[in-house]
Structure 1
Amino acid sequence: MSIPVHTALADVQLTPYWLDDPGRPSARAPLTGELSCDLAVVGGGYSGLWTALIAKERDPGLDVVLVEGDRIGHAASGRNGGFCQASLTHGLGNGLRRWPDELGELERLGAENLAAIEAALTRYDIRCDFERTGGLDVATAPHHVAQLRGHAEAARALGADVDFLDAGALREEIDSPAFLAGLWDHDGTALLHPARLAWGLAVACERLGVRVFEGTRVTRLTSDRAGIVLHTDAAGGPARLRAGKVALGTNVFPSLLRRTRPYVVPVYDYALVTEPLTAEQRDAIGWHRRQGMSGAGHQFHYFRQTRDHRILWGGYDAVYHFGGKVRASYEHRPATYNKLAAQFFEAFPQLDGLRFTHAWGGAIDTCTRFSAFFGTAHRGRVAYAAGFTGLGVGATRFGAEVMLDLLAGDSTARTRTRMVRERPLPFPPEPVRWAGVQLTRQAMINADANGGRRNLWLRAMDRIGFGFDS
């Protein structure tokens, strides 16, 4: 007999599962007084951490300082699903629509980037439960089946190791009445513990000589002939950091460069984690190869197993709040938790009686093309990367390389791509932005319910280049 959703959520902790870890390091000291360096990195998530680390690898003599407004990995880098993917374009479909002529090169760069992440974890002994499980996209409606077949053909043409799974073959991988077919990418996805990745990268940075300060929020940038001055509101009082060059890894938080703010909006995503499954429960659903999984619809779930045999189940709702604010009060949404729990048991009725232990939400930095964009300011002395749209666990390392290339003025295989050279379209100002997001969200819900048929509004968005099809 099915237990009520509220019973499954009765004892849930409203905190990210990944951050609820006894191994979480103690807080580092804030910046005080005045300091100078060659390179200042703003942001203690993956984007900033990879930038600081790679900068020291490129030039061990470079003086690098990283400042984080809160704690290392407290935001998106500690709240995501732990999917580390090779894709730099937010999936093959989005890449084919936007950069078909260079998608082969972007796929190659993405594969190299994922391999470089794995190598760095070994080199610096970062223990974050990294597993090359591969990824499995599942069809949850009949029209998704043909879509996945097409993606399989396109991926094979680019040399990817993929298999299309019909309903019977998919059932051998994961037993769910909700899944009709699947596309298994054997090499393009790894799973990991996202918070431990951030904590491990910070330690690796410090071992190479990077000075890391937490509780140090940068409020503005000014420049003069000598360089860039970062004005901060640190826990110990106002402080200043002078740098020759600056890399911005602030992502979803309001950019220190006003010119880039119209290109990013925060969208809130939510996730649940179950209690550990018993051996019998694991056998009931199969999933012995532990692939990272996601649905093929516009509104989709992503789900995976943790090292201790829990299931993380997230996605579906993507909530934009009027004005684009990032607030702690938006991090919990009981209505979404209830919806996610109900949908979980629809997918896995054989797990009836399982309870959830953790529930949380967090903001994703999204842009209109659904993949990161890059640029410089202050006469080339400040670089930025933003707009990763949920695939930043892997792509932020690529973004770090791009920022360092741009700051150095180097022409590389990365910076020569159209994806790096071009910008997405900006979002319109409020209230048009909010109305447009709500209209688009409803149109995508309708498309999912109507065999994938896109209405006039979505077709118009496609024509002007807005990325509302992922």
Structure 2
Amino acid sequence: MAPAAMRIAAQSLSDAKPVSFWLDDPGKPEALPALTGDERCDLLVVGGGYSGLWTALIAKERDPERDVVLIEGHEVGWAASGRNGGFCAASLTHGLPNGVERWPDEIHKLEKLGERNLDAIEDAVARYGIDCEFERTGEIDVATEPYQLEELHEWHEEMTKLGFTGTDFLDGDALRAEVDSPTFLGGLWDRRGVAMLHPAKLAWGLKQACLDLGVRIYEHTRGLELARTATGMGVRTPYGRIFARRVALGTNVFPSLVKRVRPFTVPVYDYALMTEPLSADQLASIGWKNRQGLGDSANQFHYFRLSADNRILWGGYDAIYPYGGRVSAELDQRPETFLKLAEQFFDCFPQLAGIRFSHAWGGAIDTCSRFSAFFGTAHQGQVAYAAGFTGLGVGSTRFGADVMLDLLAGEQNERTTLEMVRTKPMPFPPEPFAWAGIELTRKSLARADNNQGRRNLWLKTMDRLGLGFDS
């Protein structure tokens, strides 16, 4: 980084609050009291992020008489659900290319299920009056290198052959007419498959919807231990116990109460910046009238979008795995990444020179080796889990909630019979092999980005095995 560029990037960060912009909101609801004593219920949901909230809500929608309890170790929406970029995608497979590669025989069904899932989220937001700034503006995959443009063009032709429509190829002029950056060479605009939203307000709205339907929610109530009882399952908490006929685990990046699930995920730290609101002149200098989400096409990619008050969220690039899979609040701040992101922001939008960042934050995402969620049951079908959403859980966690409830009910349907649902990803190896393999993969991906996308022997081997690392 040149000294002048470093100085400009550093100055832009001088007033940034070390907290998620989404969670730094005066409308944030007060936390509910912790559980003290014992409780009994039909269904216990562990985890107060999207996964747990959707599970509790849909459980009551399916059966209003079902007695549902949800516990959250901290506060609803405080972790990945309140720190993400707010991209709510229809894809259940971490993008169509990953789905075609892994489940070619099911991909049309998976895409249809994903479209229905996103429609159902939009319907729920309207039906429950959730003010989460939902905008179904789509997303543009952006090429910033010639080889990326060629790959996007080839993929668009492949999508057409496979019968997938709704995505438009944009050349450089067409893309820059949508969002103007000197780095943009072209892109693919998925016009209906992605919505933008305020992620924390979605979590808080789902919390209120659950309460309105009669779900009992206890915050600051961590599930410590899961065990069989004479009538079902029991979960020990710091100040009491909960006895339930069925349990759904939506803990994702945090260690599962079913220990054999833990090797299937690792935590990856992702980081983001939020600018101050753009003036009318600043917004006009970059266009962006249609407010799409954007993401570039490198292995180390950025995602960026406009907020309701015309700030730019700029995140991604670094995906940091802590040795041993440690999840700690100390890792939520990484100044060297923030500095890098700020410099890259001004490379993308030099016309915004002088703008400052109001917030800088990070947090852990649960990543699995196939990039998309996996599902299962334990304790003879009395416990269900969904995990491994790998940064694309804003939308797909609702599908995961449906799957968990189907599995707990013992249903055989279009969801539970999917190969995606019936199979598991490859688990990560123990340390130090996990850290060594992930670091080698990260460095190889960075090298590919600097070498016209050419993948080395390590990445080619990982590709053949269907393994990967992403955020």
TM-score, normalised with respect to structure 1? 0.98
Q: How many angstroms does 1:469 deviate by?
A: 7.2
Equivalent residue for 1:163, pick from 148, 168, 174: 168
Shift of 1:179: 1.3
Give the secondary-structure state (helix, strand or coil) at the position aligned to 1:323. Answer: helix
* 2:179 counterpart of 1:174: yes
Equivalent of 2:27 in 17, 20, 23: 23
Moved >6 Å (runs of 4+): none
Equivalent residues in 2 for 1:369-448, closer than 5 Å: 369-448=370-449
Supply the distance in 2 between the matched residues of 1:374 and 1:21 (Cα, whole angstroms): 33
Residue deviations 1:147-168, cap 9 Å, x none? 2112222333333301011111
Match of 1:206 in 2: 211
Distance 1:469 1:270, change over 3 A: closer
What is the aligned length?
466
Residue 333 of structure 1 corresponds to: 334
2-structure distance, mates of 1:447, 1:468? 14
2:152 is the alignment partner of 1:144? no
3-state DSSP of counterpart to 1:100: coil
Fraction of identical pairs, as percent: 62
Kindly provide the amino acid, as one letter, of the partner of residue 273 in structure 1: M
Are positions 1:224 and 2:229 aligned together? yes
Q: Is the contact between residue 302 and residue 314 of structure 2 (CA under 8 Å) also seen in structure 1? A: yes
* Aligned partner (choices 88, 94, 98) of residue 84 of structure 1: 88
Partner in structure 1 of residue 14 of structure 2 = 10
Distance 1:153 1:337 in 2: 37
Equivalent position of 1:265 in the other structure: 266
| Distance in 2 between residues matched to 1:76 and 1:219, nearest whole Å | 20
**Which residue in 2 is equivalent to 1:94?**
98
| Cα separation, 1, equivalents of 2:349 and 2:372 | 32
**Residues 270 and 364, structure 2, Cα contact 8 Å, conserved in 1:** yes
After superposition, what is the alpha-carbon deviation per residue over 1:181-204, rounded to whole angstroms, capped at 9, x for unaligned?
Answer: 100000000000000000000100
1:218-248 per-position Cα deviation (integer Å, ceiling 9, x unaligned)? 0110102310000012xxxx21000000000
1:343 alignment partner in structure 2: 344
Asked if the contact 2:319–2:470 (Cα under 8 Å) also holds between the matched residues in 1, the reply is: no
The residue identity in structure 2 corresponding to 1:466 is: L
2:123 is aligned with what amino acid?
A
Query: 1:38, 1:406 → 2: CA distance?
Result: 15
Q: C-alpha offsets along residues 355-412 of structure 1, whole Å, 9 cap, x if unaligned?
A: 0000000000000000000000000000000000000000000000000000000011
Which letter does structure 2 place at the counterpart of 1:396?
T
- Counterpart code for 1:107: E
What residue identity is the alignment partner of 1:297?
A
| Structure 1 residue identity aligned to 2:79 | A
More displaced 10-residue stretch of structure 1: 71-80 or 411-420 = 411-420
Q: Which amino acid aligns with 1:81?
A: G
Determine the C-alpha separation between the residues in 2 that align with 1:154 and 1:66. Answer: 44
Q: Tell me how large the CA RMSD over aligned residues is.
A: 1.1
Contact in 2 for aligned 1:135/1:291 (Cα 8 Å): yes
Tell me which residue corresponds to 2:305.
304
* Paired position in structure 2 for 1:317: 318
Q: Distance in 1 between matches of 2:63 and 2:231?
A: 21
**1:14-93 map, 5 Å:** 14-93=18-97
Q: For the Cα contact (< 8 Å) 1:46–1:397, is it kept in 2?
A: yes
Letter in 2 for 1:32: T
The SS at the match of 2:467 is coil
SS in 2 for 1:94: helix
Cα separation, 2, equivalents of 1:143 and 1:100 = 25
Q: Could you tell me how far apart the structure 2 residues matched to 1:283 and 1:142 are?
A: 27
**TM-superposition CA deviations, 1:316-372 (whole Å, max 9, x none):** 000001000110000000000000000000000000000000000000000000000
1:159-180 CA distances to partner (integer Å, 9 max, x unpaired)? 3301011111111111111111
Structure 2 residue 299 is matched with structure 1 residue 295: no
Q: Which moved more, 1:332-341 or 1:217-226?
A: 217-226
- In structure 1, the gaps of 5 or more residues are none
Q: Which letter maps to 1:293?
A: L
What letter matches 1:327 in structure 2? S
State the SS of the aligned residue for 1:216: coil
* 8 Å CA contact retained: 2:438, 2:469: no
> Matches of residues 95-134 of structure 1 in structure 2 within 5 Å?
95-134=99-138
Cα distance in 1 for partners of 2:220, 2:71 equals: 8
SS at match of 1:61: coil
Summarize deviations over 1:404-442 as a string: whole Å, max 9, x none. 000000011111111111100000100000000000000
Asked if the contact 1:462/1:468 (under 8 Å) is kept, the reply is no
Q: Which amino acid aligns with 2:154?
A: G
Q: Which of 183, 187, 192 is the aligned partner of 2:188?
A: 183
Cα displacement (A) at 1:468: 3.8
Give distance in 1, aligned partners of 2:18 and 2:143. 30
Q: CA-to-partner distance for each residue in 1:84-108, whole Å, 9 max, x for gaps?
A: 0000000111111101111111000
Q: Is the 8 Å Cα contact of residues 144 and 183 (structure 2) preserved in structure 1?
A: yes
Q: How far off is 1:467 after superposition?
A: 2.5
